[in-house]
Chains A and B, each alone.
Chain A
Amino acid sequence: MNDQLNNKSLIQCSNVNVFYADQQALFDINLDIRENEVTSLIGPSGCGKSTFLRCINRMNDVIDICKVEGSISIDNQNIYDPEVDVVELRSRIGMVFQKPNPFPKSVYDNVAYGPKLHGRILHQEDLDRKVQESLERAGLWSEVKDRLHEPGTSLSGGQQQRLCIARAIAIDPSVILMDEPCSALDPIATAKIEELIDELKSKYTITIVTHSMQQAARVSQRTAFFHLGKLIEVGDTEKIFRSPEHEQTEAYVTGRYG
């Protein structure tokens, strides 16, 4: 399963502390995320998985009371450096949210939004091709090719989530962050998205938050276990699920937690 084990690390997090006002949500996180792999973040609710994920594209900046300390480097550049342009940073990182959140625009406009926003594609034919390619890669093309100009919000929940994935990959990000992308979906839609994640990893570096142990086991090469704001253990997915080093991890992955 894991012959890419020694991929070089793309994202290095060191001593990341996050505070919401006076309350600390993450404690001294040191975690490397490797290129062209799927890393899953697991842990009980409220342990700071989403918070950590949002640190990677600086979405925490949007929350007034949120303060991030420490450093996170992508491609050896500290993204919390004051010189970093957040908008530019986010244009290199795709994000898929727990609840599908397509824009109230047409399917086409949803996917074309990013490329147009960043002015990367100037010709209509190129844009058409990009939209089709992104929808194809998100496994949605065959379902929506005849309804590209219907509102994205009129699709089913699973289709909407794949539309959001298509929207995210249309900007050719190097990293894709997914926060429980399948939590609102049925098993069939979930299977489709898992398949998709597996395909996408050849081109992108993916970090996924999930509450499903099976999902983590199926899609990810590495797994990080969080508990109460601390990173307890990180390692190959196989190892985390088969022989974790920490007792807490074992309790959680075997379902004895709580």
Chain B
Amino acid sequence: MSSNNFKKRHRAEKRFKAYGLISLVTAAIMLIVIIGSMIYKSIPAFTNYTLDLEVNMVSQSLDTDIEEINYRGIVRDSFFSLFPEVQDRSEKRKLSKLISSSAGYSLRDFIIENPTYGNKKFYFSVLFTDDSDLFYKGYVDVYLPEDERRLDNQEIFWLTKLQSRGRVESKISRNLFLNGDSREPEVAGFYGATIGSLITIFVTLVLSFPIGVITAIYLENFAIKNRITDFIEVNINNLAAVPSIIFGLLGLAVFINFFGMPRSVPLVGGLVLSLMTLPTIIITTRSSLQSVPPSIREAALAMGASEMQVVFQHLLPAALPGIFTGAIIGLARAFGESAPLLLIGMVAFIVDIPASINDPATALPVQIYLWADSPERAFVAKTSAATLILIGLLIVINLVAVILRKRYEVKW
């Protein structure tokens, strides 16, 4: 009878292990599917088809200011020269829409950087528009009826012709990594949003980490236990559960409307996210302080350490790994947050790369939201690419947490 009992217990244990394994495998498969599909979808975003144009700057007189030259016209002329048969004005306009409107600007930037090319004839590669680019990437179904495609037969004929002449080349998209947002998908990049996110999270870290840790230490070790401190404690715990959009509303009302801070800036974003992160940091810091064995505190006190010395020489060092973990979990959550940032205007269309806490900026999650909402087909891949970058940065943040935890781990 008792052996039967043992068998039952072993079976129960095996069953439990099996459940655990099944849920682990399910979670792993889901993760792989999500990341895998994200990678697959993002592939087109990392390359761009470019056209090698023979640009003729010779006719430019030497005394024109290089900023004043009509670069757009030069690009267009050399592009048209590839299709001498196209003479009709409306056809020409259609033809010119195959290459990116950014081509003139990139030629201008190139000449300003390399003025010696200012009166030469040379090959210069310009971007195609997103639609042409998608055609080369095979995303345009030529068998669809003409009026259901983004490119008509004429355009497809031109693009094929260009390719057959060996003028078309696929290159890594530098714009994706180095640009801010843009209305043109082939020009848009997530660099601006990434920098915006990093500045915002830096503000969040600088504000919430010290304030949170000091608050936790005070509440845990110095505050007299009474009604007021109890009330504060309950409120901190409640704040941790408040939906993030509420913090956005608060930020809008307090920082922007009351204090008159500018909209769309990382400073306000960081302030709002700090409010959101503070409760997490306070709670985890307190629980890591509590988990330091009381015998250490007693030993230090008995040696004649003051309360503050006990905290800073013993409790805090021993609690550091836990504090770092909590802070980084809080920051990672803030990093992936978009709702509160929408409310304080960090959802604006911003082309420039922010350079300070007071420059208009957006954040990666908001950029993802914006791109996911854009009608252009090419933004689908960009959305996935930006998501991958966001996930990548979150992994980096978590790795930092692991390293810090290992580094400061205390062995009892």
Contacts and interface: CB of A to CB of B under 8 A. Distances in A.
Given A151-B411, A153-B411, A117 B305 contact: yes
A99 B295 contact: yes
Given A103-B314, A153-B412, A87 B299 contact: no
A219 to B, nearest CB: 21
A87 B306 contact: yes
A99 B293 CA distance: 12
The number of chain A residues touching the other chain, given as a range, is: 20 to 34
A168 B295 CA distance: 15
B309 A59 contact: no
A155 B288 CA distance: 25
Interface stretch (A2-10, A90-98, A124-132, A225-233): A90-98
Given A104-B318, A104-B412, A117-B309, A97 B304 contact: no
A57 interface: yes
Contacts of B300: 103
Contacts of A162: none
Interface string A102-120: 1110000000011001100
A81 interface: no
Band of interface residues on B: 20 to 34
B301 A164 contact: no
A117 B296 CA distance: 15
Nearest to B303: A114
B411 A97 contact: no
Q: Please report whether the interface of chain B is mostly helix, strand, loop or mixed according to DSSP.
A: helix
B302 interface: yes
B299 A97 contact: yes
**For A88, A101, A171, which residue has the most chain B Cβ atoms within 10 angstroms?**
A101
A91 B296 contact: no
Given A97-B298, A97-B299, A164-B299, A87 B412 contact: no
B227 interface: no
Interface string B81-92: 000000000000
B42 to A, nearest CB: 46
B400 interface: no
A249 B174 CA distance: 90
B58 interface: no
B302 A90 contact: yes
Nearest to A118: B304
B410 to A, nearest CB: 5
A117 B304 contact: yes
Interface in B398-412: 410-412
Given A103-B314, A104-B318, A57 B295 contact: no
B303 A90 contact: yes
Nearest to A64: B225
A167 interface: yes
Interface string B365-404: 0000000000000000000000000000000000000000
Contact of A91 (B299, B304, B314, B318): B304
A188 interface: no
A1 interface: no
Nearest to A173: B304
Nearest to B297: A62
B301 A90 contact: yes
Interface in B259-301: 293, 295-301
Given A62-B298, A64-B225, A104 B411 contact: yes
A103 B304 CA distance: 14
Contacts of B314: 103
Given A62-B298, A99-B295, A104-B412, A117 B303 contact: yes
B190 to A, nearest CB: 44
Most chain B C-beta atoms within 10 Å of own C-beta, residue among A62, A153, A167:
A62
Contacts of A95: 302
A62 B303 CA distance: 14
Given A104-B412, A151-B411, A153-B411, A90 B298 contact: no
Given A59-B298, A91-B303, A93-B302, 8 more contacts: A59-B302, A99-B295, A101-B299, A113-B303, A114-B304, A117-B309, A153-B412, A154-B411
7 contacts: A59-B302, A62-B297, A62-B301, A97-B298, A101-B298, A104-B411, A164-B299
Interface of A: 57, 59, 62, 64, 87-91, 93-95, 97, 99, 101-104, 113-114, 117-118, 151, 153-154, 164, 167-168, 171
Interface of B: 225, 293, 295-306, 309, 314, 318, 410-412
Leading 6 A-B pairs by shortest Cβ distance: A91-B304, A101-B295, A95-B302, A90-B304, A101-B299, A104-B410
